Amino acid sequence: MLEHARRNAVAYLALFVALSGTSYAATGGIPGGHGPRGPKDEPGSIEAVMSAFGGAAPSPTPDVDLLVTTLTTKTSGRLLVLARGRYREDCAATSQVQLGVYVDGAGVPGSGFPVAPGSGGAELSVWGLTAASVPAGEHNVVVAGDCLGSDSVGGSAGGDAAVGAIVLGR
């Protein structure tokens, strides 16, 4: 049972966020909020939740794409992006690797994941919220890595590597 919960943590997080969003919309907003969404960084806003529970910032200059997929959204809105799997980036010199998730070339805040030098990769389970709304249509979603202070000589994605997204708002 515990193993099932560990392997599906990202799915449970997505379900929790989706159900919370429905409850939030049904109650009319956060008490003391300004409008149905509330201002950014107000206690209880999605930005406050992301800064409290999200990961690190992804590298602004990733040097290798490890997993690439195209997602199609039917409506516009910010994307809650989820990524999991085993990722490895090989660096020319021993250096830390910063993994991250990118939508249409922009790093997703909170999706960064540092990997120690010489660790041989990492089991990744991260989520983040796009900084801006994306239009309806196709979007390129990438898990990428950056050898900090060195050049990349390759990389791979394995295990149950996957990405997904949920559109929040319009």
The whole-angstrom separation of Cα 17 and Cα 129 is 12
pLDDT given for residue 70 in this prediction: 94
Best-predicted range by mean pLDDT among 30-39, 42-51, 75-84, 108-117? 75-84
Q: In what order do the strands lie in the sheet with 152-168?
A: 122-129, 78-91, 152-168
pLDDT given for residue 20 in this prediction: 46
pLDDT tens digit sequence for 73-99: 999 999 999 999 999 888 888 888 899
With a cut of 60, say whether residue 52 has pLDDT above it. no
Q: Give residue 14's pLDDT band: very low, low, confident or very high (50, 70, 90).
A: low
Q: How many CB atoms lie within 10 A of CB 128?
A: 25
pLDDT given for residue 75 in this prediction: 93
Stretch 142-153: mean pLDDT? 90
With a cut of 60, say whether residue 32 has pLDDT above it. no
Residue 158 contacts residue 92 (beta carbons within 8 Å): no
Q: How many CB atoms lie within 10 A of CB 69?
A: 15
With a cut of 90, say whether residue 106 has pLDDT above it. yes
The whole-angstrom separation of Cα 139 and Cα 87 is 21
HSE-up of 137 (CA within 13 Å, CB side)? Answer: 6
